[in-house]
Structure 1
Amino acid sequence: MAHHLCSGRMDVDLRHLRGFLAVAEEGGFTAAGRRLHVAQPTLTRNIRALEETLGVRLFDRTTRRTELTAKGAELHRALVPLLRQLDAVLDEMCEGERLRLGFSWGLPDGLARLAARFDGETGVSVEFVRCDSPAARLETGDVDLALLRGTRLPRGLRSAFLYDDSRVAAVPAFWPLAARRELSWAELADWPLVVNTRSGVTTPDMWPPGERPVVGAECGNYDEWLEKVALGLGVGTAPAATARRYSHPEVRFVPLSDGPAVSTHLAYPSHGAHPRAALLANVAAREGVALRDGSERG
């Protein structure tokens, strides 16, 4: 939404005033455009619109220089303290603001670092909220964004794709499978499957009809899932990055040679989302696999 300063019949766009200050302080349109990350033609149009609205010339322009007119210098002197005060008020509005990010299990290794950087750059902190539900409580409004996995996300959400992760098999440590260096997706179907019905990434219908595993046990969260595998109630699969973070002395994670990748997204409501939700999701998407691996983006 555009900011406007209104005085009687005048309707002046705030971005035009900021453009005017940049040109005045940088001494030209090219440098001012770089400072504002605005194309020079756009900045030129904005200054022309401001001059037409005020009915005065603000700059004397030649092919070699751009200088303030007397009216321009007067406006510059008045605007500097006004916009400084406005910026201070707007900054204060952001203080204490937070984004609640829901997750069911396995936060990406680099997400905490990104959240700290986001706080430093925007003044909006990120609070991680553990939630065992299919949409990590986005559907109830308890969180502003959610880390979701899989290709079929709930309706009514927008999402930013972060990365694909390879999949590993989780098998009881005392089963013969635990001695294997690698397993195939097809042979997992010969064993009972432990299914996390709320936030898991593996269900029997991921195998072809007639070749699907039986369900050995069901549960509602990752910790229960891991314990049921440890008890020998069946096998399961998980993203490789998650397996690096979570271990269990009675569970062995074995690489899968051909398992389907696990897609990871940051999702937020299509309507009524927090104003900063899309920004955080897009920043995270640009980091991509660096989030998964906990590495700096190169």
Structure 2
Amino acid sequence: MGIELHHLRGFLALADEKHFTRAAKRMNVSQPTLSRNIKRLEELLGRRLLERTTRQVHLTAEGESLYEQLRFLIPRLEAVLRPQADDETFRVGFAWGFPTGWPQEVIAGFEEATGLSVRVHRHDAKLAGVDTGDTDVAILRGRIRAPDVEVLPLLHERRVAAVSTRSELAGREEISWQEIAELGLVINEVSGTTDLADWPVGNQPGVSVVCRNFDEWLEAVAANKGVGVVPEFVGRQHIHSFVSFLTIPDAPLVPLNLVYSRPGGHPLIPRFVAMAQGAVGGTAQAVDA
């Protein structure tokens, strides 16, 4: 058909970013080049994939369908084609807020038992590289839904509300889950642990700002753009001079999960999973994502 990999990679980048300039920067090409590649892909497929306006990009129904297929297929193809490192490592990914305590003990024990080096790396994506083959196991919070991965809830964490020190809420010690539903919410749509589905339909907060990583989320809260909700461990850290934390006694708990590929992943994944289960009590059970 004449379709090349760079056509598909450009489409994926644009579908993720919803913005030609950001997608072109991510692909390391000029915006006109990306535009030509997307137009050529539409011509070769005979389908319109995008609805363009002067400020935004939206996927058509055909574009959404193609995106849902390619966002798993292309990363796996690239992983197969990627040169393998000479020294094998076991890769543990996370999106933000790597836990302290049990993971470090598990990693040390795993390295001693297997002789492999473990590399921990941050990956600003919903599955922290598990779906693209860049990570063997990821430690992620929240509800995880994706095909072809196992999700193992290890434990559950309480939540706290993050507010700007300039907010009228900053002087309080706690806030109810229902009160948050009446405020503007700052959401991290990529690696965050809270979204509107955490509240009943018809009683959900408005969204004041949508961010794509933890750092953007933190700055939006500090600037008093809205209220954020995060796991309790964040509130125990002095992460920003202009952010305060309030307890939420009635908030639903956040699961902390191990996420890994179904059969076909690294052969030592079961060993790492078993050691992690042992470190937190050994009662965790995998669930379908």
Report the equivalent of 1:275: 267
**Partner residue in 2 for 1:220:** 212
- Pair 1:180-2:172 in alignment: yes
Aligned to 2:91: 100
Residue 134 of structure 2 is aligned to residue 142 of structure 1:
yes
Distance 2:251 2:141 in 1: 15
In 2, Cα distance between equivalents of 1:285 and 1:179: 39
Two-structure CA RMSD over aligned residues (Å): 1.9
Aligned ranges 1:185-200 → 2 under 5 Å: 185-200=177-192
Q: Which amino acid aligns with 2:249?
A: S
- How far the C-alpha of 1:205 sits from its partner, in A, is 2.5
* Residues in 2 aligned to 1:260 and 1:289: alpha-carbon distance in whole angstroms: 22
Contact 1:158–1:269 at 8 Å: present in 2 too? yes
Structure 2: distance between partners of 1:194 and 1:249: 18
* Segments ≥4 residues shifted beyond 3 Å: none
Counterpart AA for 2:92: L
Q: Does 1:286 align with 2:274?
A: no
Shift of 1:169: 0.5
Is the CA contact 1:163–1:288 (under 8 Å) kept in the aligned structure 2?
A: yes
For 2:112, what is the secondary structure of its paired residue? helix
Partner of 2:248: 256
CA deviation digits over 1:218-269, x for unaligned, max 9? 1111111011000111111111123324621111111111111000111110
Give the Cα separation in 2 of the matches to 1:160 and 1:170.
27
In the alignment, the residues of structure 2 paired with residue 223 and residue 162 of structure 1 have an alpha-carbon distance, to the nearest angstrom, of 25
Tell me the secondary structure at the aligned position of residue 159 of structure 1: strand
Higher Rg of the two aligned structures: 1
Mapped partners of 2:93, 2:144: distance in 1: 18
Distance in structure 2 (CA, Å) of the matches to 1:251 and 1:245: 11
SS at structure 2 position matched to 1:143: coil
Partner of 1:159: 151
Q: Helix, strand or coil for the counterpart of 1:280?
A: helix
Partner of 2:228: 236
Q: Which residue is 2:107 aligned to?
A: 115
What residue is the counterpart of 2:58 in the other structure?
A: none
Offset at residue 289 of structure 1 (A): 7.4
Counterpart Cα distance in 1 of 2:196 and 2:217: 15
SS at match of 1:129: strand
Shift of 1:117: 2.1
Residue deviations 1:7-59, cap 9 Å, x none?
xxxxxxxxxxxxxxxxxxxxxxxxxxxxxxxxxxxxxxxxxxxxxxxxxxxxx
Gaps of 5+ in 2: 1-85, 283-289
Q: Could you say if the C-alpha distance between residues 289 and 150 of structure 1 is closer, same or farther in structure 2, counting changes exceeding 3 Å?
A: farther
Structure 2 distance, partners of 1:241, 1:276, is: 29
Instruction: Measure, in 2, the Cα distance between the counterparts of 1:158 and 1:237.
Output: 26
Cα deviation code 1:185-212 (max 9, x no counterpart): 1101121100101011111222122221
CA drift of 1:153 comes to 3.1
TM-score, normalised by the number of residues in structure 1:
0.62
Q: CA deviation at 1:126?
A: 1.3
CA contact (8 A) 2:144 2:151 kept: no
Cα 1:289–1:190, aligned 2, differ >3 Å: closer, same or farther?
farther
What is the aligned-residue identity percentage?
39
TM-score (norm: length of structure 2)? 0.64
